[in-house]
């Protein structure tokens, strides 16, 4: 019996050595690297780098999308800097970011902490919260357009049912509430996705740390603020970065719900770029706006990374 086990172990060990040897040979073969990396590089060049360079080229031209593009230097960028509707769009993108960082993310964190403490039906709650994230933005926009409908909308009907008929409103047609309605809809769609990320980080915290904190008297929200939140800080930083980049390229939710109306009040940079290109035919100017979106996103991301690095240096010395 022992001899049989010994022989089997020898065979297994030799097969493992043979497998490692063949793997090493594969990794040392330049052709293997080419086969794995070239398709990815081609996709990157085709769908990211080439469109970026094309936008950069046409951003310095006057072009209607059909005739030959004429180089006009920085005229498109100067026009953008003096375009009041472009700055309305920039302001709305900033509102998107502020709403995401200071309202949406704290709500996400609180909701994730609550769900993490649920003992029964936790899977049900996680699935329910995540469901809106799997819907397409067009479906979400149409759905919430019905919710905000002035006559048959769920929101106005609910206000009427609880005796607040005076609060009934034309939510998507009023300058005071249109963009806020879009922000709430966008938050509803993506809260579940971010909650799942935060929950994954919370469940990855070693139980020994939490038990030691409970022994020291840190329980409930005190434990969450003093122990849990600092330990999941890297995930929160990633969520903020995703919120910034997502807010800067927001297009579909605004396009479906308001199309930038009323009177361009809900316009964001991406929708303004789209209209300039496909409705007015100013493709050169639209490409300049695309470049500005990219530049603004990079600047905001770098500023946030700088601030987080500074805060880490202050906190950890």
C-alpha–C-alpha distance, residues 297 and 310, integer Å: 20
> pLDDT tens across 105-133, in order?
999 999 999 998 887 877 888 888 999 99
- pLDDT mean over 48-68: 91
Mean pLDDT estimate for the chain: 87
Q: How confident is the model at residue 31 (pLDDT cuts 50, 70, 90)?
A: confident
Give residue 15's pLDDT: 46
> How many CB atoms lie under 10 A from the CB of residue 130?
16
Element (H, E) at 198: helix 178-203
Element (H, E) at 114: helix 105-116
> pLDDT tens across 210-252, in order?
888 888 777 778 888 888 999 999 999 999 999 999 999 999 9
Q: Are 59 and 288 in contact (CB under 8 A)?
A: yes
Which CATH fold would you assign to the domain 78-316?
Answer: MetI-like fold (1.10.3720)
- pLDDT mean over 256-265: 91
**CA distance readout (Å), 108 to 140, 206, 234, 240, 243:** 19, 22, 15, 11, 12
Q: How confident is the model at residue 199 (pLDDT cuts 50, 70, 90)?
A: very high
**CA distance readout (Å), 64 to 57, 259, 287, 303:** 14, 22, 11, 35
Give residue 239's pLDDT: 95
C-alpha–C-alpha distance, residues 197 and 95, integer Å: 24
Q: Are 125 and 118 in contact (CB under 8 A)?
A: yes
Give residue 1's pLDDT: 46
**More confident of the two residues 282 and 317:** 282
Q: How confident is the model at residue 21 (pLDDT cuts 50, 70, 90)?
A: low
With CA atoms as reference, report the closest residue to 78 among 317, 298, 284: 284
């Amino acid at each position: 019996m022992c001899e049989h086990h010994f022989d089997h172990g020898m065979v297994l060990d030799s097969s493992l050595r043979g497998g490692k040897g063949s793997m090493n040979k594969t990794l040392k073969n330049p052709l293997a690297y080419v086969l794995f990396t070239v398709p990815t590089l081609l996709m990157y060049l085709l769908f990211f780098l080439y469109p970026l360079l094309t936008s950069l080229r046409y951003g310095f031209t006057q072009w209607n999308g059909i005739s030959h593009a004429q180089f006009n230097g920085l005229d498109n960028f100067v026009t953008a800097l003096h375009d009041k509707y472009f700055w309305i769009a920039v302001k709305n993108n900033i509102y998107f970011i502020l709403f995401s960082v200071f309202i949406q993310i704290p709500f996400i964190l609180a909701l994730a902490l609550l769900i993490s403490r649920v003992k029964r039906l936790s899977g049900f709650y996680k699935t329910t919260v995540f469901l809106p994230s799997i819907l397409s933005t067009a479906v979400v926009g149409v759905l919430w357009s019905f919710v905000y409908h002035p006559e048959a909308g769920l929101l106005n009907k609910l206000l009427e049912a609880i005796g607040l008929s005076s609060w009934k409103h034309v939510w998507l047609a009023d300058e005071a509430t249109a963009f806020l309605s879009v922000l709430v809809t966008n938050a509803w769609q993506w809260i579940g996705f971010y909650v799942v990320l935060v929950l994954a980080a919370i469940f990855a915290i070693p139980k020994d740390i939490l038990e030691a904190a409970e022994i020291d008297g840190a329980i409930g929200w005190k434990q969450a603020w003093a122990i849990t939140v600092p330990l999941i800080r890297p995930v929160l930083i990633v969520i903020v970065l995703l919120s910034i980049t997502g807010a800067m390229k927001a297009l579909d939710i605004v396009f479906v719900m308001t199309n930038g109306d009323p009177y361009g009040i809900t316009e964001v940079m991406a929708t303004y770029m789209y209209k300039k290109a496909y409705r007015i035919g100013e493709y050169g100017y639209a490409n300049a706006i695309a470049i500005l979106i990219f530049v603004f996103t990079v600047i905001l991301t770098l500023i946030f990374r700088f601030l987080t690095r500074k805060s880490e240096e202050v906190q950890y010395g």
